[in-house]
């Protein structure tokens, strides 16, 4: 809300220096966002709140300053040059829908000379950022910005039958607005009509036809109170918001319409107008006075500071509340009509706190009587996962939750995407069903800006419809492409690959204590054929990883291969991880045996693991593949595999002979299952 200090002086004699006034306004909740000097005036831009429509005019801001500084508001006089004719004879006002229009005031000004506004009025209108139109229209805007009560001026001659009927629009009715926009009306909208047709959309905007033009002579001034919800619904439906609708939908001061009408009429007499006798005021069910009980004890209970009861009483009366003592330290407080925000005791306590000063309320720490429940395991697991991924050289990304139909079509996740009804753009009209879209964007972005490699992970929700219900699923996705780390003289630059990703996932499962886990070759829509594995924990597939499909890379214009993974963390964390228990460290030496074989190139490591596993070898601590190669020294179609077995016993030193026996068993089992040959020159013992 724009406030002019000069204009404020119409209502209050304030002579604080501007900077002190601004501080004061800030501290009572009228935050000055910006201010500038304009000639001798100072213009403030004040932040106002949806519950304080009274501050949407200079009068309301003046009231607040008066209360803060202990000043009195100036009484304004609105002299009228009256004529004999009664208002009711000149125009008949009927409210047909008192729910939507509880109060309607009108007065007629005859013989106005419509023309340019005088200097003082034009200046005020321009301060508010509007263009001066003519003296009559400017007066209506002047009253609005002075008092926050919107008023409207009709050309009386254009009102058919000299009637004002406040009613709902009929089906099929339409109106051309002041802004020359055609609006079709419906029965849920309140209109101001004459005998024949709507002449204004109540509380929102006037009609062009009945508007004040240069030839207009007699003016009907409308000053009313409209139902806030009705004004808001209409304004939203027709997509027109005005200074008037902005105030009405926030709830106006129902006691104010007569004063605003008189003020406008008085000002119009300055342009040769004469005012009809007796204001028309249709107000079938006058609003009840609102009273709220205030207990001094509650002021302390809520604010944590002892405030002198006299201070509270004075503050409220300064603000226009009527404070009546009921018994000691309990008051009955009558709320002025312009304070539509005050309904409960807490609202009054806020008033007291505002003027007492938030800065004077002491600083205490809330006692911790009962500890909170221990922190969630799930969050700890997420953070542990992140640390493991950082350690493996993956950077963390966060992407928007939005997706587009094109993206969803590329990924074919098989999940039914949730649509946003009012998206900001068609690129963001869906919620993502995979994290892959964002991460591929991130790869493209960084590769286009000179990155040699990109390795990202993201932890976040995906969203989809599941049996008509919307579901959020916590997901972890990884992508890895290009060089690992920056090039360095000390080691060769390595490109990322499938096994780097797989190793990362293996670390993840091991450090999170999700063992045993296994991998299963399984086709998946995201990945190339025969290039994807499923990660299985306790018989459930937790996620997939592999080489991303060429078509996806093309869609994002990526040249380098990208390996990616997507894991369902809800499913994983839903499973209990293995409780950790330490295993005793043996005091006796371990025995390491390395065995090298020549094997068929197509034997899978998982099969070897299985065969070794089935042997249930005693004392076997670990078993790993530490070398694998093929080349000129190896027959065609074959590979050399080097396995390392580590044995230990908790209570004694192992004997060479018993290990020899086990080793023979391994060699013969692998020989029998896969036709493995011991490689010549391979180390047999160590």
Partner 1 sequence: MKDFKARVEDFKKKFDKALAGAKDGKSLQELRNTYLSRKKGVVKSLLEELKAFKPEEKSKAGKMLNTLKNHVQKKLETAQKKFTAPETIEKKIDLTLPGEKKYWGAPHPVVLFQQKIENIFISMGFSIEEGPEIETDYYNFEALNFPPHHPARDDWDTLYLSDDLLLRTHTSPVQIRAMENRKPPIRIIVPGRVYRRETPDPTHLPMFYQVEGLVVDKGITFAHLKGTLEYFLKTLFYEKLKIRFRPSFFPFTEPSAEVDIECLVCRGEDDKCRVCKGTGWKEILGSGMVDPQVLKNVNIDPEKYSGFAFGMGIERTAMFAFQIPDMRYFFENDLRFIRQFTLK
- The interface with partner 1 within residues 371-410 (CB under 8 A) comprises 371-376, 379, 383, 386, 389-402
CB atoms within 10 A of CB 510: 12
Residues in region 418-477 near partner 1 by CB under 8 A: 418-425, 428, 438, 441-442, 445-446, 449, 451, 454-457, 460-461, 463, 470, 472
Alpha-carbon gap, residue 263 to 611, rounded angstroms: 99
The tokens describing 195, both together, are 């005998």
Does position 667 interact with partner 1 (CB under 8 A)? The reply is no
Q: What is the DSSP letter of 159?
A: S
Interface stretch with partner 1, choices 120-128, 306-314, 479-487, 600-608 (CB under 8 A): 479-487
Nearer to partner 1, 269 or 568 (CB): 568
Which listed range, 101-109, 157-165, 350-358, 591-599, lies at the site for partner 1 (CB under 8 A)? 350-358
Q: Which is nearer to partner 1, 268 or 397 (CB)?
A: 397
Closer Cβ to partner 1, 148 or 401, answer by number: 401
Q: Least separation, in Å, of the C-beta of 667 and partner 1?
A: 39
Structure tokens at 416: 């039914």
The verdict on 36 binding partner 1 (CB under 8 A) reads no
Read off the tokens for 646: 């580590």
Query: Of the ranges 195-203, 337-345, 510-518, 551-559, which one interacts with partner 1 (CB under 8 A)?
Result: 337-345
Closest contact distance (angstroms) between CB of 229 and partner 1 is: 5
Query: What's the min distance (Å) between Cβ of 672 and partner 1?
Result: 44
- One of 288, 364, 467, 652 touching partner 1 (CB under 8 A): 364
Q: What's the Cα-to-Cα distance from 630 to each of 5, 178, 309, 398, rounded to whole Å?
A: 89, 86, 93, 42
Residues 298-317 that bind partner 1 (CB under 8 A): 301-305
Q: What tokens appear for 336 in the block? A: 């002025």
Query: Rounded distance, CA 319 to CA 331, Å?
Result: 15
| Smaller CB separation from partner 1, 154 or 356 | 356
Contact status: 168 vs partner 1 (CB under 8 A):
no
Q: Which is nearer to partner 1, 25 or 191 (CB)?
A: 25
Q: Are strands 274-277 and 82-86 parallel, antiparallel or unpaired?
A: parallel
Give the per-residue contact string, 407-426, with partner 1 (x = CB under 8 A; - = no): -----------xxxxxxxx-
Q: Contact between 346 and partner 1 (CB under 8 A)?
A: yes
Q: Which C-beta is closer to partner 1: that of 485 or that of 635?
A: 485
Q: Please, which residue, 172 or 486, has the CB nearer to partner 1?
A: 486
Q: Between vectors from CA 116 to CA 207 and to CA 204, what angle results, nearest 5°?
A: 25
- Residues between 195 and 254 with contacts to partner 1, criterion CB under 8 A: 228-229, 232-233, 246, 249-250
| Residues 133-162, interacting with partner 1 (CB under 8 A) | none
Q: Which two tokens stand for residue 37?
A: 């000097």
DSSP secondary structure of 4-43: EHHHHTTT------HHHHHHHHHHTT--EEEEEEETTEEE
**CB nearer partner 1, residue 67 or residue 105:** 67
Part in contact with partner 1 (CB under 8 A); list of ranges 200-208, 212-220, 270-278, 480-488: 480-488
Counting Cα atoms < 13 Å in the Cβ hemisphere of 510 gives 6
**Cα–Cα distance, 6 to 146 (Å, whole number):** 12
Shortest distance in whole angstroms from residue 675 CB to partner 1? 42
Which CB sits closer to partner 1, 456 or 514? 456
Q: Interaction with partner 1 in 47-66: which residues (CB under 8 A)?
A: 49-52
Shortest gap between Cβ of 556 and partner 1 (angstroms)?
14
d(CA 456, CA 394): 5
Closest to partner 1 by CB, 31 vs 128, is 31
Distance (Å, whole) CA 247 – CA 562: 57
CB nearer partner 1, residue 251 or residue 640: 251
Tokens representing residue 255 in the block: 């006691």
**Sole window of 196-204, 309-317, 342-350, 532-540 interacting with partner 1 (rule: CB under 8 A):** 342-350
As measured in angstroms, the least distance from the Cβ of 180 to partner 1 is 26
Residues 206 and 243 sit within 8 Å (Cβ to Cβ) = no
Locate the DSSP E strands across 39-113: 41-46, 82-86, 92-95, 103-110
What is the secondary structure of 211-278 as a DSSP string? S--TT---EEEEEEE--HHHHHHHHHHHT---HHHHHHTT---TT-HHHHHHHHHHHHGGGT-EEEES
Residue choice 39, 79, 172, 362 for contact with partner 1 (CB under 8 A): 362
Q: Report CA dihedral (491, 495, 496, 499) to the nearest 10 degrees.
A: -80
Least Å from the CB of residue 655 to partner 1: 39
Distances, alpha carbon 187 to alpha carbons 245, 386, 475, in Å: 18, 58, 49
Contacts of 348 (CB under 8 A, 6+ apart): 292, 294, 316, 321, 333, 342
Query: For residues 510 and 610, which CB has a smaller minimum distance to partner 1 in the complex?
Result: 510
Whichever of 154 and 394 has its CB closer to partner 1, that residue is 394
If DSSP states are collapsed to H, E and C, what string results for 452-472? CEEEEEEEEEEEEEECCEEEE
d(CA 418, CA 430): 6
How many positions of this chain bind partner 1 (CB under 8 A)?
100
Ranges within 254-283 binding partner 1 (CB under 8 A) = none
Q: Which is nearer to partner 1, 454 or 595 (CB)?
A: 454
The minimum distance between CB 472 and partner 1, in angstroms, equals 6
Beta-sheet pairing, 517-521 with 453-466: unpaired
- In the complex, the smallest distance separating the C-beta of residue 297 from partner 1, rounded to whole angstroms, is 11
- Using alpha carbons only, give the angle 448, 450, 453 rounded to the nearest 5 degrees: 95
Q: Does residue 186 belong to the site contacting partner 1 (CB under 8 A)?
A: no
Of 456, 499, 493, 449, which Cα lies nearest the Cα of 478? 456
- Considering the complex, state which of residue 133 and residue 397 has its C-beta at the smaller distance from partner 1: 397
Q: φ, ψ for residue 615 (rounded to 5)? A: -70, -15
CB of 101 to partner 1, least distance (A): 17
| Distance in Å, CB of 291 to partner 1, minimum | 17
Query: Nearest approach, Cβ of 367 to partner 1 (angstroms)?
Result: 8
Q: Which is nearer to partner 1, 236 or 655 (CB)?
A: 236
Residue holding tokens 């939908």?
A: 249
Rounded CA separation 436/6 (Å): 59
492 binds partner 1 (CB under 8 A): no
Name the minimum Å distance from CB 389 to partner 1: 6
């Amino acid at each position: 809300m724009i406030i002019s200090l000069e204009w404020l002086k119409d209502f209050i004699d304030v002579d604080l220096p501007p900077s002190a006034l601004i501080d004061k306004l800030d501290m009572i909740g009228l935050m000055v966002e910006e201010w500038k000097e304009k000639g001798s005036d100072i213009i403030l831009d004040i932040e106002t709140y949806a519950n304080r429509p009274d501050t949407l005019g200079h009068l309301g801001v003046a009231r607040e300053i008066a209360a803060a500084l202990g000043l009195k508001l100036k009484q304004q006089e609105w002299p009228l040059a009256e004529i004999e004719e009664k208002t009711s004879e000149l125009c008949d006002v009927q409210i047909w829908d008192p729910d939507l229009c509880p109060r309607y005031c009108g007065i007629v000004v005859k013989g106005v000379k419509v023309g340019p506004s005088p200097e003082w009025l034009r200046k005020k209108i321009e301060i508010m950022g509007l263009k001066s139109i003519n003296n009559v229209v400017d007066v209506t805007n002047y009253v609005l910005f002075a008092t926050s009560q919107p008023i409207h001026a009709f050309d009386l001659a254009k009102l058919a039958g000299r009637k004002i009927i406040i009613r709902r629009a009929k089906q099929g009715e339409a109106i051309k607005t002041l802004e020359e926009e055609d609006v079709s009306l419906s029965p849920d909208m309140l209109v101001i009509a004459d005998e024949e047709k709507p002449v204004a959309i109540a509380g929102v905007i006037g009609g062009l036809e009945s508007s004040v033009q240069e030839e207009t002579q007699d003016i009907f001034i409308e000053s009313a109170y409209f139902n806030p919800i009705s004004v808001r619904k209409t304004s939203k439906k027709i997509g027109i918001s005005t200074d008037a609708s902005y105030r009405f939908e926030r709830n106006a001061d129902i006691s104010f319409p007569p004063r605003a009408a008189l003020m406008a009429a008085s000002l119009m007499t300055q342009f040769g107008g004469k005012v009809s006798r007796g204001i028309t005021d249709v107000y079938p069910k006058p609003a009840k006075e609102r009273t709220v009980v205030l207990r001094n004890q509650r002021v302390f209970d809520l604010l944590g500071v002892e405030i002198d009861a006299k201070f509270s009483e004075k503050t409220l009366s300064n603000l226009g509340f009527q404070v009546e003592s009921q018994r000691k330290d309990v008051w009955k407080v009558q709320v002025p009509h312009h304070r539509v925000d005050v309904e409960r005791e807490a609202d009054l306590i806020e008033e007291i706190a505002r003027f007492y000063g938030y800065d004077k309320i002491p600083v205490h720490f809330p006692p911790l009587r009962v500890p909170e429940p221990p922190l969630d395991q799930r969050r700890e697991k997420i953070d542990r996962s992140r640390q493991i991924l950082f350690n493996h050289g993956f950077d963390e990304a966060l992407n928007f939750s939005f997706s587009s139909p094109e993206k969803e079509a590329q990924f074919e996740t098989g999940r039914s995407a949730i649509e946003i009804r009012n998206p900001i753009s068609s690129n963001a009209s869906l919620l993502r069903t995979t994290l892959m879209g964002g991460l591929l964007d991130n790869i493209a972005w960084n590769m286009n800006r000179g990155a040699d490699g990109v390795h990202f992970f993201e932890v976040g929700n995906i969203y989809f419809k599941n049996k008509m219900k919307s579901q959020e699923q916590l997901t972890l996705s990884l992508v890895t492409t290009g060089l690992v780390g920056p090039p360095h003289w000390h080691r060769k630059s390595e490109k990322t690959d499938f096994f780097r990703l797989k190793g990362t996932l293996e670390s993840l499962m091991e450090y999170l204590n999700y063992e045993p886990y296994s991998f299963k070759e399984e086709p998946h829509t995201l990945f190339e054929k025969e290039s994807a594995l499923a990660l299985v924990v306790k018989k459930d597939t937790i996620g997939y990883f592999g080489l991303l499909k060429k078509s996806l890379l093309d869609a994002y214009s990526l040249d380098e291969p990208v390996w990616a993974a997507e894991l369902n963390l809800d499913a994983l964390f839903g499973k209990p991880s293995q409780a950790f228990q330490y295993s005793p460290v043996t005091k006796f030496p371990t025995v390491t045996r390395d065995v090298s074989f020549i094997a068929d190139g197509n034997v899978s490591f998982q099969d070897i693991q299985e065969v070794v596993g089935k042997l249930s070898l005693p004392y076997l601590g670990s078993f790993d593949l530490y070398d694998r190669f093929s080349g000129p020294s190896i027959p065609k179609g074959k590979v050399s595999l080097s396995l390392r077995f580590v044995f230990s016993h908790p209570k004694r030193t192992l004997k060479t002979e018993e290990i020899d026996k086990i080793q023979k068993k391994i060699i013969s089992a692998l020989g029998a299952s896969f036709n493995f040959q011991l490689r010549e020159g391979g180390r047999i013992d160590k």
